[in-house]
Amino acid sequence: MGNLLADPEEKAEKAPIRRKVEERLSFKERIYERTRRMRIKRSEDLQVFDEVFDKSTLMAVYRLMNAGVIGSLYGAVKSGKEAKIVRGVAPKGEELAVKIYLTVSAEFKRGMLPYLEGDVRFRRVRRDTRSLIRSWALKEYKNLGKAYEIGLRVPKPYAIEQNILVMEFIGENGAPAPILKDVLPQHPAKTYRQLLNFIKVLYRRGELVHGDLSEYNVMMKGNEPVIFDMSQAVLLSHPMAHQMLKRDIFNLNRFFQKLGVKVRSEDEICRWIMKNSS
């Protein structure tokens, strides 16, 4: 997909393209012209670009660029119904994962509400789509921040702006680390124990439950698991917290049992996690 948001000529100017509102509003059209000059013919890349970078999102990108968080953006490294993750580069060259939440379906909006309404941090969430998306992105930023603060291996969150979450890129040279579903860990029993410990530490020290932990939300960087997708994680005070805790344990047991790991029962793990947690 090429470097669509970085322009060497504009970088050379003291006051780049962010001078005028009119320039900002015409940015998308100039990007399309640039893609044609670069002979980018992959229609799926252009479709992703069109879906992700509406005017509001572009303005948020500008603010992140002005703040020195993002230097440039490249192609999508992961695409889902609710969000796209785009590879970015910071002004000093560090790779970034830029998660852009999209305007979502009514079904997904309904699915968001129970996680937000039961969270004391989001008591006054407005019901319009844009407000829900902003709150959902902020929720993931806060959850990642707490997990990172207590020493768990999650992508380090760097910044949040509207529907854009900027975080550490897990991978090398633009290639994301594989997810657990697609790569067999060298030591499955050890990885199983590491993930159970993640649940325990997140519960006891972070007072959070991931709520959607499975082989789809764990990256393997080398032999070490890195947990991501924490937007749905809830505080222990949430009415669904215990149900979500058991779901996380069930998902891990199901996956690792297939790999021949001798797993512990859900009830035993729950007791181990919650012991002396208050």
Instruction: Name the residues annotated as catalytic.
Output: 212, 229
Bridge partners (DSSP) listed for residue 88:
73, 96
Distance CA 125, CA 133 (A): 10
Residue type, position 185, single letter: P
Which residues does 185 contact at the CB level (< 8 Å), separation at least 6? 191, 220, 223, 225, 259
Question: Nearest-CA neighbor of 163 among 102, 82, 119?
Answer: 102
Which residues does 77 contact at the CB level (< 8 Å), separation at least 6? 85, 86, 87, 97, 171, 174, 176
Distance CA 77, CA 14 (A): 31
Distance (Å) of CA 82 to CA 58, 67, 76, 173, 249 = 18, 26, 14, 26, 25
Distance CA 15, CA 29 (A): 20
- Give, for 157, the enclosing helix (H) or strand (E): strand 157-161
Q: Are 76 and 98 in contact (CB under 8 A)?
A: no
**Cα-Cα-Cα-Cα dihedral sign, residues 40, 44, 45, 51:** positive
**Buried-state track 243-269, b at ≥16 Cβ within 10 A, e below 16:** ebbebbbebbbebbeeeebebbebeeb
